Amino acid sequence: SQKIEQNSEALNIQEGKTATLTCNYTNYSPAYLQWYRQDPGRGPVFLLLIRENEKEKRKERLKVTFDTTLKQSLFHITASQPADSATYLCALDHNTNAGKSTFGDGTTLTVKP
């Protein structure tokens, strides 16, 4: 079965710096890779989706890359702010026509002022 590893449980950075989170997967490449944000006590919130034929996707201060050779996605938050502090989840979808996603455990980002 597919296994997802997110680089570390926790990442601490200084405000203004770029945060880089890593998502690695095993086995076959997914059709889609998604990133979600989750705040304590709340449900995950969708941020970005990147398809297997896309190398990079951007949305405001967010950037996602997808390297099917390395079996890795990188999620970047530029000019980070304390409000970016949250847990970020990576999820894979193998285009099963059911929209089922396999989620990683998440990385908790803390941005210090």
Give the binding site for other proteins (CB under 8 A). Answer: 32, 34, 36, 41-46, 49, 89, 91, 93, 97-106
Please state the closest distance from residue 10 (CB atom) to other proteins, in A: 13
Please state the closest distance from residue 86 (CB atom) to other proteins, in A: 14
CA 85/CA 38 separation, integer angstroms: 10
CA 22/CA 76 separation, integer angstroms: 9
Please state the closest distance from residue 103 (CB atom) to other proteins, in A: 4
